[in-house]
Structure 1
Amino acid sequence: MSLIAAMPPPELMPLIPATPSTRIAAQARLRLPLAAAVLSLSLMLAACGGGGASSDETGAAARVPVTSEAEAVRLLDQATFGATPIEVQRVRDLGASAWIDEQMAKPATSSRTHWEMLDRQNKAADPTAVSRTEVYHSFWHNAVSAPDQLRQRVAYALSQIMVVSMVDSGVNDQPRGVTSYYDMLGQHAFGNYRQLLQDVSLHPVMGIYLSHLRNQKEDLAKGRVPDENFAREVMQLFSIGLVELDLDGSASAGGPRETYGADDISGLAKVFTGWSWHCNGDTSDSCFHGWNESAKAYPDRSIASMRSYAKYHSASEKAFLGSTVAGGSDGDASLKVALDRLAAHPNVGPFIGRQLIQRLVTSHPSPAYVERVAKVFNNNGSGVRGDLKAVVKAVLLDTEARAPSAAQRDSFGKLREPVLRLSKVLRAFGATSTSSHWLIGNTDDPGTSLGQTPLRSPSVFNFYRPGYVPPNTLAAARSLTVPEMQITHETSVAGYANFMRSVVQNNGVGETPAGASTRDVQLDLSAARAAAHKPDELVALMNSRLFGGAMPAALADQIQAAVESITIPLLTSTNMVAWEAANSNRVRLALYLSVVSPEFIVQK
């Protein structure tokens, strides 16, 4: 049965409801174009019984030349928010390594700068405005239009490892701080992991989110002990993980051994006492607690690194992970010992390296791939540990990432998460913001939207866990990790179809600005409309923009047949409207069927 059998053009397709009462109808309508997409990665990863090539097929930091359109698009899928025709040609001209070097040299595009522009405009109209949604506008501004695409993509990856979330009410009240946090991740994307870990630990938004801002020393008389939240998560999620690892990311020989215990958490929690707002020289109790108006009036307190307040810092001896901080040590000295210990732990290379591979390249990297990246983390070739510039290059230039043969393996690839599906479409078709504000807001709802909003994960564990294995699937039978499947279910499948149908029908996405008649972020489909009268050329354009020339022949044939089913009347002086509508319907149908196909949803 055809993938697109009997599917009408988008303007004839009613929105597909995702309520329980209509689930059966929704499933039936989506069965061909999308149900396969839900299962395809699980099936493909399971088919070969493994997550990657054997070690004799691969090598460290490959110098595989990028010559074809498909190879260039594959790199851009991994390293940016989506390929554009100009960037594809740039990769082909420079080659992968030189293109990466060029990207790494580009100055960082600031999310906070865009947010502050929007906030000024909001406050001009309403001085009490709190510009929360503008955080998402700033994200999409950078994701779609920033020239430093590699930095932006790595920042997004890091935001899913070292998570803060605006779902938290305290974080939600600090939108400027959130954009500052995201910028900080971008600034360190090619820096050193040790400094990144420090700046993450001391950012006030992280302090709010994991409750070590205003964390006080123990007081036995009052029954008070330090908050242990950040101490736990900085080990479990940001550095060393739960079990001791070999260099290839597998549990150390002899069975899983925990990396830390309750005593380590308690000892480390004392390090993170006494840290609070940096109030430009004001070290009073009121500033620590954020009580007085002078503290609240300090405009940069949500973006300035927290400072240590000796009065509230534990003077006790602090023991954790085999290290000891002497009693009486101040907050800065205690922090240095703690972060040095965490950054030097042998788990960090494979633990962080594997997650960067997952976020950029493939869900279930081979042990050999992880080991090669971990070795670069441990030593960049010049004796430097934690050089993220070298690590990112190792991830992207590895043979498994670059060799065309690796992309052909059924075991390789990842489910393209919803945010990256949308960004790829927007960049492929030169989207622009009519307001210059990029008014794409909350896209949380899985029934009508993406089921995912940047910087709004449900918890500190991100939208999905890196070790997630979808239960009762072929992937589970093979013990393969497919993290993105954790947010893929019946409702989200129907919701994505509805959302993309709306994008296609409206030629864009986002809010409709005041006084405008179209969605703010508009696709440029002029080239597609010019090709609409020639179905083969229209399909070829979709193939080039969305698949890098690698659209399977069967899918191309099916889309072309669907396009040809829409007849374009012979243009006369009286039927211009009908003629334009038929051309537009062909473009919409070709685009819609492309972006809901399993081949688009799975990144290879």
Structure 2
Amino acid sequence: MALTTEAEASRFLAQAGMGASDEGIRQVQRANYTGWLDQQFAITPRYSHRTYIDALIASGQNPNQSHVMHTFWKQVAVAPDQLRQKVAFALSQIFVISQLDSAVGGYERGVASYLDMLGREAFGNYRSLLEAVSRHPMMGLYLSHLRNQKASGNRVPDQNFAREVMQLMSIGLYELNPDGTLVMAGKAPVETYSNEDIVGLSHVFTGFSWAGPDRQNGRFYGSSSNPPPDPNREVLPMQGYPQFHSTEEKRFLGTVIPAQGTPDPDGSLRIALDTIFNHPNVGPFIGRQLIQRMVTSNPSPGYVGRVTQAFNSGSYSHGNWRTGNGQRGDMRAVIAAVLLDSEARDIAMASAPGFGKVREPVLRLAAWMRAFDATSKSTNYLLGNTDSPSNALGQSPMRSPSVFNFYRPGYVPPNTGIAAANLVAPEFQIIHETSVVGYSNFMRDAVRYGVGSNSPRDIQADYSKELALADEPDALIDRIDLLLTYGTMSTATRDLIRDAVESISINPLNPSAGRQNRVYVATFFTVSSPDFIVQK
């Protein structure tokens, strides 16, 4: 399908990547949507989060949590595999770990490798992704199934991961039709699992702990020097320790693993993950969340159903183009179904009531970086903690306050028109009076001075193309509209920005200051506007 406008390409990149840029727009226009997806699927990742952390260690530095955020922002700004970056970020909000948790916060290599794993699995199969997540030691620490032991005396297996892998990462609380609507029994939704299912599954997740060349008890506990810990244990998948694995019968989700004469943690895990993977809820549950993270908070049942079909069949076709290997759970098919659906691509949907999503703060800053080719003086993109809602973004990557992410997919802001319309708006859970002012102040300084540590600030935007248009307010606004709001800026916002820009005079004897201020004002007003904050 041939593209007709730059605006269509820009809008596509807002959904499929971390934001539009001149080069990104050209790439999409040259290849069209499907060609661009093929190119993105084929890109071998150029950057590794873990490699960055390892290089710091090799140079004698002691990495901290900020370094994980540095490598995140670098990939946002410069990595060519923008689709992978977007999907990995979406997955990080479904398969949540957080550096705010004391169990995880000191393992920078581990968190970096977890991010790499999400990127590596983003274009694979959901079943492989689910196992990689389940075995990753950072998830094991975060949801406490690393060192989880079989029942003994009054001790019972930890149920944390067993509960959350079902509730948040695969099938959800209630049975779903393929189109994402609830399966009802009378007037009540049908629950997907019971407490007995959690108990049964918790026995599966026993006997897994740190990787290493043996399976001694000391290695399982990981706190002794006998044997010494594997130096790469925080980045290697957890291994099974039969002596700590439950051998009793395990019942969950209609599956029975018979009592084992010989404990088999790997075999139990395989059966459990196969059972979860083949549950009919996975397609609509995961598909809807990917739509929410990339396109719109309130997809129609038809949209969800088409993505579910792609998940179940492992294939997606768009005209004569096809992707996916035909195996259930193929992520390429799912991603293509999310991004190429008629509801995602029809520009008329941008004005449809209830369509679109709030652009979360991390993605707002990412879009600004991408639009204006932000570069790093240090080359390392030294932007750390932006948690504060009063003077920063109110959100930092990999620092969710809980396993429920920064916001829940079904969040409804109370006492609003959104609630009255029976819609959800997940990102509104982190939007309040303080965060609105804090974001505005943060972006005001970011636009003018850049972001990050050091003085001048490490990450700086390149406004050279905008400065060349500063004498022509409408041309300047058109360009910023293209990059940040893909040609959908409202007349009211445009008039407001034009008035502000024209109020700044350009002194013929010293025009640079006036031109800079015009660009700063036009950019700041745009990134603060509903036209930008609500992605349509």
TM-score band, normalised by shorter chain: over 0.9
- For 1:526 and 1:200, the matched residues in 2 are separated by 43
Equivalent position of 1:406 in the other structure: 349
2:399 to 416, 440, 456: 456
Q: What's the TM-score once normalised by structure 1's chain length?
A: 0.85
Equivalent position of 1:252 in the other structure: 183
SS at match of 1:509: coil
SS at match of 1:319: strand
- For 1:358 and 1:73, the matched residues in 2 are separated by 19
SS at match of 2:256: strand
Superposition deviation, residue 236 in structure 1: 0.4
Is the 8 Å Cα contact of residues 497 and 525 (structure 2) preserved in structure 1?
yes
Q: What's the TM-score once normalised by structure 2's chain length?
A: 0.95
In 2 relative to 1, CA 540–131 (structure 1 residues): closer, same or farther, beyond 3 Å? same
Q: In structure 1, what residue type is equivalent to 2:297?
A: S
Q: In structure 1, what residue type is equivalent to 2:525?
A: L
Is the 8 Å Cα contact of residues 201 and 272 (structure 2) preserved in structure 1?
yes
Superposition deviation, residue 201 in structure 1: 0.3
- For 1:454 and 1:294, the matched residues in 2 are separated by 36
Is the 8 Å Cα contact of residues 447 and 496 (structure 1) preserved in structure 2?
yes
Superposition deviation, residue 296 in structure 1: 5.5
Q: Does 1:593 align with 2:531?
A: no
- For 2:492 and 2:403, the matched residues in 1 are separated by 42
Is the 8 Å Cα contact of residues 67 and 95 (structure 1) preserved in structure 2?
no
1:29-44 mapped onto 2 (5 Å cutoff)? none
- For 1:152 and 1:569, the matched residues in 2 are separated by 43
Q: How many residues align?
A: 522
Superposition deviation, residue 156 in structure 1: 0.4
CA-based RMSD: 1.3
Superposition deviation, residue 548 in structure 1: 2.3
Equivalent position of 2:318 in the other structure: none
Equivalent position of 1:264 in the other structure: 197
Moved more, 159-168 or 541-550: 541-550
SS at match of 1:586: helix
Q: Does 1:555 align with 2:489?
A: no
Is the 8 Å Cα contact of residues 135 and 179 (structure 1) preserved in structure 2?
yes
Equivalent position of 1:178 in the other structure: 111
In 2 relative to 1, CA 542–268 (structure 1 residues): closer, same or farther, beyond 3 Å? same
Larger relative contact order (CA 8 Å, sep ≥ 6): 1
1:78-117 mapped onto 2 (5 Å cutoff)? 78-108=15-45, 109-117=47-55
Equivalent position of 1:388 in the other structure: 331
Is the 8 Å Cα contact of residues 412 and 419 (structure 2) preserved in structure 1?
yes
Equivalent position of 1:352 in the other structure: 286
- For 1:302 and 1:295, the matched residues in 2 are separated by 16
Equivalent position of 1:322 in the other structure: 254
- For 1:327 and 1:454, the matched residues in 2 are separated by 42
Equivalent position of 2:9 in the other structure: 72
Q: In structure 1, what residue type is equivalent to 2:422?
A: S
Equivalent position of 1:338 in the other structure: 272
Equivalent position of 1:537 in the other structure: 475
Superposition deviation, residue 546 in structure 1: 1.6
Q: In structure 2, what residue type is equivalent to 1:234?
A: V
1:468 to 403, 406, 411: 411
Is the 8 Å Cα contact of residues 119 and 131 (structure 1) preserved in structure 2?
no
- For 2:294 and 2:118, the matched residues in 1 are separated by 16
Deviation string, structure 1 residues 21-60 (Cα, Å, up to 9, x no partner) = xxxxxxxxxxxxxxxxxxxxxxxxxxxxxxxxxxxxxxxx
Deviation string, structure 1 residues 282-340 (Cα, Å, up to 9, x no partner) = 21111100122365552210010000101111111111111111111410110011000
1:302 to 207, 226, 234: 234
Superposition deviation, residue 227 in structure 1: 0.3
- For 2:517 and 2:228, the matched residues in 1 are separated by 55
Is the 8 Å Cα contact of residues 354 and 423 (structure 2) preserved in structure 1?
no
- For 1:115 and 1:470, the matched residues in 2 are separated by 39
SS at match of 1:171: coil
1:162 to 87, 95, 98: 95
Q: Does 1:190 align with 2:133?
A: no
Superposition deviation, residue 71 in structure 1: 0.9
**Unmatched 5+ stretches in structure 2:** 316-324
Equivalent position of 1:239 in the other structure: 170
Deviation string, structure 1 residues 393-430 (Cα, Å, up to 9, x no partner) = 01001000111222221321000000000000011000
Is the 8 Å Cα contact of residues 64 and 106 (structure 2) preserved in structure 1?
no
Q: Does 1:527 align with 2:465?
A: yes
Q: In structure 1, what residue type is equivalent to 2:308?
A: A
Percent identity, aligned pairs only, is: 53
Q: In structure 1, what residue type is equivalent to 2:285?
A: F
Q: Which runs of 4+ in 1 moved over 3 A?
A: 118-121, 294-297
Is the 8 Å Cα contact of residues 79 and 149 (structure 1) preserved in structure 2?
yes
Deviation string, structure 1 residues 137-196 (Cα, Å, up to 9, x no partner) = 010011111000001100000000000000101111111000101111111111011111
